[in-house]
């Protein structure tokens, strides 16, 4: 059994309305010094798999076929 | 009888509820901008539907921190009636005035349609004008309407008779199909511990005249306004 | 961009990357009398693009009728404006976002909605309704499900958040759109008739103000991005996709309407497809003025943005306006209240040039006229090939099965799955919800209703473009009429393939000819619209799709009609006649698996007579139940009325495919109380309108000549089944949510 | 300048329809051996702050006041 931690983030330059709104809200709560906020997704997948190489290539495929939107998002994978 | 509607950036049912209240009260409610920290002296505060702050991060999360909301919380604690519809319900759970949280709909899709709800308690200013067990037709329109509470809280709500409405079939059965969003125990509306705060996902303000296709919403508001008038 | 980069020589490669032909570039050199620099080249290429200059279409668009006594403003502004009484005007327009929606369905469709909303509120209207016409590829195509899901979620995601109800539209499937889906969005707004705002820059020295979101590097064209010099440190290929921010749009609507209630504004223009470039050029052109902009004042999202990028960015949720001098502070206060960017970025000049300054240097100086006038082509065209002939024989008719099959086919299946994802009731004035003929939205605070619809039958246009063009207009007019509305005007979105192919250009020319004929006879002028060409993949063009958006007015919503059967024991009357035309019908497609034959002819005089007659009956209160007969013919229309009302219909007539499923035009089904039947038939005779009793209402089933009973519940089950079942299939390619 | 990486995940016992839908979609795409999928949020905040302690306590406050809803969510913070 392995656990994959997938981070999906917006590519540089892509507008992030959520991040913008969060940053704005933090500002108005009185937090200062906030330079930038970006929001992404974090997905944990538990896999019945023991081989790290196989697991990684499976999760790679999941990301490119389903989890991430290649037009505007990047993804990264960590295995445990 | 005086009412106020709080307007957040991104509220979009503020006009709708103002029109409905005016139709039932005979005069317009006060519209309060979220930055105002002073509220007029009113018998009812309404938090409208919409997408305050775009519903970014979590529905209702950012609106809670507005100056007007601090005052709403204070008034609610003093017993003023507070009604949150849709996004207003989300703001109320985020503010802690109501328990639980409103999460993404079970089918992960926005849902806009008429639903039936059953009146579960008449022990509140909001529902005292209705009949316990009667079914009413209201529209819903939301992305995040799946009401979540943990087991303990659910038991408390049940024991204290604080569930105001449940989603039902037109003949009054609580079923999965009748539940548009996956809310726990079919909950469509809940009361706060002092019974003067109601949060509900359905939009009674969208059915207040025949041209809109029904008047169950009007009955709801008239019941509420009568009760408030009597209580004055 | 450094000045040095901007001064770099323009090579033929750079010209080609900007999509300008060598001839076009020569024309630019002649008009300018010198070589442009890079910023100027970018601006010229955008303004001379098909999208901004209408270079292939303009000549033909001019042939459409655009006037009527109730038209306040026809084509040429951001949207069309018509008088709707009580001192109010309706402002409306339709626009395509086809290509972006294919690349990134959610954001592409969402930003399409955002763009069309801005075209309407920039003229001073509060948007009151959205519609969308969607054309997808074959349901079996591997990308279709992903596209449907994303497009529908995107339209809902944007419209729901801004709080404008999405009340209608279309959604059909055809392999001809496999590689080029169509997403056409329409917005209708309402404004005081004496407070319409135009895109005009006037008053030398007046400040030019930028409001809304900051400018990022969104949507800067792929070709131009290929030049390394623009972005030497870019570590990844920058996406050209724009992301919509409906929350900001909502604030922008409120802020603009608040400012419009003052008299601060001289002119205002949304930043549409070509962003700051086209908005500033259009305003200067309309005001016969010049514009000077300081790039250093433009609010930007990223560091180091060059004038080239700033001028070509397609970032969303931005507007440009000219204010009366001295009113900046008042305007700024409103935008700051709504927490939006506000910047004075330039001023109106008398130079009739677009002049840009950056770092204290002039980086662009182009004559406005050259940019605004653009190019005009008279492209060769030819009549496209005739359709395949009707097959000699069609499989035998099996009324029940055929009806159930048609009702559960993709094109006729209920679109509930789609419109339940759209908030179609916000604003609390929706008095006819999606699912009927026209949607009706009450004019707030009055008893009037605005009826609206989108229509086009691409398979008719493909078979015979003139008839198809006529039919699209006639069907929109008919849908409005069926609700009891007086049709007022049309907006259109003309989606075609590559105009440089003569048969495609022929489709365009002939569809417009048909549209124009119908608009004239029906007194239904075109007041706004949009053209989308080059919808082609691997040399295969989409079916010609001149999408029509129709708007009509109901004086008293108490006298509105809708398709649901509301009472038992009423008589069903068919208005209009025909010979049972099966060419290009859905029945034929279902029965043979292919389209063949000519579309049903559209007799415009008859269309008008029949419609005027039906509208009269509705206005007199003779009937409130009316449905037009279109795709699928009479039996499908009757089934739709039964399903909507939950009451059965006993239909009587020949058991003949033509009568049951033929798509003859100009027809309506009405339900009238028994005691009104004779009066209606008599009135029809004197109006020279064909009318016949074809059945009665009652019971819980649809029957034909007392047999072939299908329960209304079974009809509904068939009709509701297809869409959710289809959409529950597997979807590839990421980015749900 | 520091970067805070905030992970917001649903508490155990809270239903995660998004995670469930992903798991279902992966299944129907033919990925086998998927035991569980949970979806959370990942927020990156860039702060004009040099002291790690101050930064952490600021981000803590942001999480508890705005970014996470304690009724349904947990959060964790990493600083860079
Ligand atoms: N097919 C058409 N029929 C009528 N008018 C059209 C058509 N296409 C474009 N127009 C008009 O031409 C003008 C420019 O169109 P467009 O560039 O799409 O406007 P915008 O810049 O507001 O998006 C508008 O007034 C539009 O209504
Ligand atoms: Mg425009």
Distance from CA of D41 to the nearest CA of B (A): 9
Residue numbers of the domain that contains B114: 3-231
The answer to whether the CB atoms of D69 and B105 lie below 8 A apart is no
A28-74 tens-digit pLDDT? 999 999 999 999 999 999 999 899 999 999 999 999 999 999 889 99
- D78 phi/psi in degrees, rounded to 5: -120, 145
pLDDT of residue C226: 34
Please give the pLDDT value at position C274: 83
pLDDT at C394: 83
Q: Which domains does chain A have, with CATH numbers?
A: 2-79 (3.30.1280.10)
Where would I find the beta strands (DSSP E) of C639-735? 649-651, 668-673, 691-697, 701-704, 707-711
Query: Catalytic pick from B34, B86, B120, B135?
Result: B86
Structural domain tally of chain B?
A: 1
Task: Summarize pLDDT for B68-112 with one digit per residue, the tens.
Answer: 999 999 999 999 999 999 999 999 999 999 999 999 999 999 999
Q: Which H or E element spans position C71?
A: strand C71-73
pLDDT in tens, C579-607: 999 999 999 999 999 999 999 999 999 99
Mean pLDDT across B36-51: 96
Alpha carbon of B12 to those of A34, B5, B44, C12, C610: distances in Å?
Answer: 29, 12, 19, 52, 41
C507 CA from centroid of ligand 1 (Å)? 19
Q: Which residues of chain C have pLDDT under 50?
A: 1-4, 222-236, 734-737
A43 Cα–ligand 1 center, Å: 44
In C, residues 431-470, which contact B (CB 8 Å cutoff)? 431, 433, 442
Residues 6+ apart with CB under 8 A from C267: C197, C198, C199, C200, C201, C202, C283, C286, C287, C321, C322
Question: With pLDDT > 70 as the criterion, what percentage of chain B qualifies?
Answer: 100
pLDDT recorded at residue C9: 84
The per-residue pLDDT for C222 is 42
Select from B9, B111, B139 the Cβ nearest to the Cβ of C251: B9
Looking at every residue in chain C, the average pLDDT score rounds to: 94
Beta carbons within 8 Å of C461's beta carbon, 6+ residues apart: C468, C469, C471, C472, C507, C511, C543, C544, C545, C546
| Structure-token pair, residue D45 | 């905040």
Structure tokens at C564: 């649901």
Instruction: Give me the residues paired with residue C355 across strands.
Output: C292, C365
Specify the pLDDT at position C239: 59
CATH code of the domain containing B61: 3.40.50.880
Ligand 1 geometric centre to CA of C519 (Å): 17
Ligand at minimal distance from the CA of C56 is 1
Report pLDDT for D44.
97
Q: What is the pLDDT of residues D41-72, one digit of tens each?
A: 999 999 999 999 999 999 999 999 999 999 99
| Cβ proximity of B5 and B17 under 8 Å | yes
Tell whether D42 is within 8 A of chain B (Cβ): no
Contact D7 A49 (CB under 8 A): no
Q: Are C61 and C75 in contact (CB under 8 A)?
A: yes
How far, in Å, CA of C403 to CA of C413, rounded? 12
Residue C706 burial (C-beta neighbours within 10 Å; 0-12, 13-18, 19+): exposed
The pLDDT of residue C117 = 98
pLDDT at D66: 96
CA distance A70 to chain D (A): 17
Q: What is the pLDDT at residue C737?
A: 41
Residue C4, pLDDT score: 39
Residue B100 CA, ligand 2 centroid: distance in Å = 44
User: Residue C78 Cα, ligand 2 centroid: separation in angstroms?
Assistant: 4
Q: Which of A69, A73, A75, A76 should be substituted to probe chain C, the one whose Cβ sees the most C Cβ atoms within 10 Å?
A: A69
A-chain residues near C236 (CB < 8 A): 11-12, 74
Closest B-chain CA to C419: B112
- What integer best gives the mean pLDDT of chain B? 97
What is the per-residue pLDDT for C62? 97
Q: Three-class SS of residue B165?
A: strand
- Mutate which of A7, A10, A17, A22 to disrupt the C interface (most C C-beta within 10 Å)? A17
Q: Which atom of ligand 1 is nearest to the CA of C119?
A: 22
pTM value > 0.90: yes
The answer to whether C730 contacts D29, with C-beta atoms less than 8 Å apart, is yes
Determine the distance in angstroms separating the CA of A61 from the nearest CA of chain D, rounded to an integer. Answer: 9
Both tokens assigned to D7: 């992970």
- Mutate-to-test residue for ligand 1 from C269, C314, C528, highest number of ligand atoms within 8 A of CB: C528
B96 touches chain A (CB under 8 A): no
Nearest-Cα residue of chain B relative to residue C737 = B108
Catalytic residues of C: 51, 97
Interface of chain C toward chain A, CB-CB under 8 angstroms: 103-104, 107, 213, 216-218, 235-236, 238-239, 241-245, 247-248, 301-302, 315-316, 339, 731-735, 737
Write down the H helix ranges in C491-557.
Answer: 502-521
Ligand nearest to C-alpha C95: 1
Binding partners of A (≥3 Cβ pairs within 8 A): B, C, D
DSSP 8-state assignment for residue A63: I
Mutate to test the pocket of ligand 1, among C62, C75, C96 (most ligand atoms within 8 A of CB): C75
Whether B57 and A21 lie within 8 Å, measured CB to CB? yes
**What pLDDT score does C396 carry?**
87
CB atoms within 10 A of CB B74: 11
Residue C6 CA, distance from chain mean position:
38
Compute the count of residue pairs across chains B and C with CB atoms less than 8 Å apart.
87
Q: Which chains touch B (3 or more CB pairs under 8 A)?
A: A, C, D
Which residues form ligand 1's pocket by a CB distance below 6 Å?
C 61, 64, 75-78, 93, 95, 119, 272, 492, 494, 526, 528-531
Q: Is A79 on the interface with D (CB under 8 A)?
A: no
- Per-residue pLDDT reduced to its tens digit, C175-234: 999 999 999 999 999 999 999 999 999 999 999 999 999 999 887 764 343 333 333 344
Q: Which residues contact C125 (CB under 8 A, 6 or more apart)?
A: C79, C89, C90, C91, C189, C190, C191
- Residue C538 near residue C179, CB atoms below 8 Å: yes
Is A77 in CB contact (< 8 Å) with chain D? no
């Amino acid at each position: 059994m392995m656990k994959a931690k997938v981070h999906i983030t917006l590519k540089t330059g892509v507008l992030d309305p959520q991040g913008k709104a969060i940053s704005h809200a933090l500002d108005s709560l009185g937090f200062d010094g906030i330079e930038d906020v970006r929001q992404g997704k974090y997905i944990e997948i538990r896999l019945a798999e023991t081989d790290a190489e196989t697991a990684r290539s499976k999760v790679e495929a999941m990301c490119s076929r389903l989890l991430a939107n290649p037009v505007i998002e990047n993804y990264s994978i960590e295995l445990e | 009888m005086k009412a106020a509607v709080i307007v957040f950036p991104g509220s979009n049912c503020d006009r709708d509820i103002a029109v409905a209240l005016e139709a039932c009260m005979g005069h317009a409610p006060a519209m309060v901008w979220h930055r105002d920290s002073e509220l007029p002296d009113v018998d009812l505060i309404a938090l409208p539907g919409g997408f305050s702050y775009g519903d970014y991060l979590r529905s209702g999360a950012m609106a809670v921190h507005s100056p007007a909301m601090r005052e709403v919380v204070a008034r609610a604690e003093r017993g003023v009636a507070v009604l949150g519809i849709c996004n207003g319900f989300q703001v109320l759970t985020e503010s802690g005035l109501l328990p639980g949280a409103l999460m993404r709909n079970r089918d992960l899709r926005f849902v806009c349609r008429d639903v039936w709800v059953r009146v579960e308690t008449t022990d509140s200013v909001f529902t005292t004008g209705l009949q316990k067990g009667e079914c009413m037709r209201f529209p819903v329109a939301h992305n995040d309407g799946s009401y979540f509470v943990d087991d303990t809280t659910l038991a408390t709500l049940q024991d204290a008779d604080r569930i105001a409405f449940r989603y039902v079939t037109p003949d009054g059965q609580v079923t999965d199909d009748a539940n548009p969003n996956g809310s726990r125990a079919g909950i469509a509306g809940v009361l706060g511990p002092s019974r003067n705060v109601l949060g509900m996902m359905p939009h009674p303000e969208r059915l207040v005249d025949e041209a809109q296709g029904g008047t169950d919403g009007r009955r709801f508001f008239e019941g509420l306004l009568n009760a408030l008038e009597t209580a004055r | 961009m450094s000045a040095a980069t901007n001064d770099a020589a323009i090579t033929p490669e750079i010209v080609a990357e900007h999509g300008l032909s060598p001839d076009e570039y020569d024309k630019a050199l002649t008009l300018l009398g010198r070589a442009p620099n890079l910023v100027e080249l970018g601006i010229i290429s955008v303004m001379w693009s098909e999208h901004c200059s209408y270079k292939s279409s303009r000549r033909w668009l001019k042939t459409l009728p655009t006037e009527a006594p109730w038209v306040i403003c026809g084509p040429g502004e951001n949207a069309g404006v018509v008088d709707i009484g009580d001192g109010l005007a309706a402002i409306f327009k339709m626009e395509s976002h086809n290509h972006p929606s294919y690349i990134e369905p959610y954001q592409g469709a969402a930003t399409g909605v955002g763009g069309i909303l801005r075209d309407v509120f920039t003229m001073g209207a509060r948007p009151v309704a959205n519609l969308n016409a969607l054309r997808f590829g074959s349901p079996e195509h591997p990308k279709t499900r992903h596209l449907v899901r994303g497009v529908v979620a995107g339209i809902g995601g944007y419209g729901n958040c801004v709080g404008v109800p999405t009340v209608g539209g279309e959604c059909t499937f055809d392999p001809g759109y496999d590689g080029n889906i169509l997403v056409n969005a329409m917005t209708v707004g309402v404004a005081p008739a004496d407070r319409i705002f135009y895109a005009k820059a006037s008053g030398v020295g007046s400040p030019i103000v930028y409001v809304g979101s900051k400018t990022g590097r969104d949507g800067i064209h792929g070709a131009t991005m290929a030049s390394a010099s623009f972005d030497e440190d870019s570590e990844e290929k920058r996406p050209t996709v724009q992301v919509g921010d409906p929350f900001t749009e909502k604030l922008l609507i409120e802020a603009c309407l608040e400012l419009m209630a003052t008299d601060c504004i001289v002119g205002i223009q949304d930043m549409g497809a070509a962003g700051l470039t086209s908005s500033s050029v259009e305003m200067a052109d309309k005001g016969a003025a010049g514009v000077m902009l300081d790039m250093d004042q433009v609010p930007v999202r990223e560091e180091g943005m060059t004038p080239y990028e700033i001028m070509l960015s397609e970032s969303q949720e931005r507007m440009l306006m000219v204010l009366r001098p001295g009113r900046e502070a008042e305007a700024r206060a409103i935008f700051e209240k709504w927490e939006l960017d506000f910047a004075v970025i330039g001023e109106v000049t008398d130079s009739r040039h677009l002049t840009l300054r950056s770092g204290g240097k002039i980086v662009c100086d182009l004559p406005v006229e050259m940019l605004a006038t653009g190019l005009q082509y008279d492209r060769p065209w030819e009549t496209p090939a005739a359709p395949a002939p009707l097959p000699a024989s069609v499989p035998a008719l099996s009324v029940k099965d055929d009806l159930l099959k048609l009702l559960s086919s993709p094109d006729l299946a209920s679109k509930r799955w789609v419109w339940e994802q759209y908030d179609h009731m916000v604003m609390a004035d929706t008095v006819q919800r999606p699912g009927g003929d026209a949607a009706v939205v009450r004019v707030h605070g009055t008893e009037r209703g605005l009826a609206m619809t989108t229509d086009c039958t691409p398979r008719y246009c493909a078979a015979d473009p003139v008839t198809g063009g006529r039919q699209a207009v006639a069907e929109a007019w008919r849908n409005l009429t069926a609700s009891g509305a007086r049709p007022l005007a049309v907006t259109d979105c003309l989606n075609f393939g590559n105009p440089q192919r003569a048969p495609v250009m022929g489709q365009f020319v002939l569809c417009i000819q048909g549209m124009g004929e119908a608009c004239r006879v029906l007194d239904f002028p075109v007041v706004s619209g949009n053209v989308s060409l080059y919808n082609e993949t691997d040399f295969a063009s989409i079916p010609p799709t001149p999408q029509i958006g129709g708007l009509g007015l109901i004086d008293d919503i108490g006298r509105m009609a809708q398709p649901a059967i509301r009472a038992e024991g009423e008589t069903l009357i068919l208005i209009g006649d025909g010979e049972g035309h099966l060419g290009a019908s859905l029945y034929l497609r279902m029965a043979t698996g292919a389209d063949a034959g000519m579309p049903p002819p559209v007799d415009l005089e008859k269309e008008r007579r029949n419609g005027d007659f039906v509208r009269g009956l509705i206005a007199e209160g003779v009937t409130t139940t009316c449905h037009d007969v279109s795709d699928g013919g009479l039996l499908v229309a009757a089934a739709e009325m039964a399903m909507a009302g939950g009451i059965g219909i006993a239909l009587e007539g020949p058991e003949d495919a033509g009568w049951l499923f033929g798509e003859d035009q100009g027809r309506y089904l009405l339900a009238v109380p028994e005691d009104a039947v004779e009066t209606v038939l008599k009135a029809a005779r004197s109006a020279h309108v064909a009318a016949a009793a074809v059945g009665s209402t009652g019971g819980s089933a649809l029957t034909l000549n007392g047999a072939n009973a299908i329960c209304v519940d079974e009809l509904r089950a068939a009709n509701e089944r297809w869409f959710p079942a289809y959409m529950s299939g597997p979807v590839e390619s990421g980015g749900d949510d």
